[in-house]
Amino acid sequence: MSPADLVMQSYGRCCASSGFFDSFYQYFLASSPEIRDKFAHTNMPAQKQLLRQGILNLVMHARGMPDTKLRALGCSHSRAALDIRPELYDLWLQALLQSIGEHDGQCDASTRLAWHEVLNKGISVIKAQY
């Protein structure tokens, strides 16, 4: 199976596991005060739904979708808008991989590697807009 297909199936299992996005934000917010500050006034239930779609955009990009949606995300997260420093994506990635490990009961080493590959490709498109 290709990395993009492995990730698509793993993401399906994560989304079907209750509390996946709660776990992600729990880890992500705990990872730095700078991140907690950024989300201080955010409606978190709504944000979890937005992230569900945002991750799907990363996955679909790996399956060949044009990068238009990721570039728009890059624009909203850029210096002139949300001002998300590129270093913070490392914490984002760690929090997500931790949550995947806990919520995808079939996540093995090759699935983990596939997620790394897929996410890094999309994240570089987003960071390039900073």
Sites of contact with ligand HEM (CB under 6 A):
35, 38-39, 41-42, 47, 50-51, 54-55, 58, 73, 76-77, 82, 84, 88-89, 92, 123, 126
Min dist CB 123 to ligand HEM, Å, is 5
Min dist CB 45 to ligand HEM, Å, is 12
Q: Which of 38, 11, 5, 4 is nearest to 99 (CA)?
A: 11
Decide: 99 and 22 in contact? Cβ < 8 Å: no
104: left (phi over 0), alpha (psi -120 to 50) or beta: beta
Q: Which of 10, 3, 9, 24 is nearest to 98 (CA)?
A: 24
Return the number of the residue (66 or 105) whose C-beta is nearest ligand HEM: 66
Return the number of the residue (73 or 114) whose C-beta is nearest ligand HEM: 73
Min dist CB 10 to ligand HEM, Å, is 16
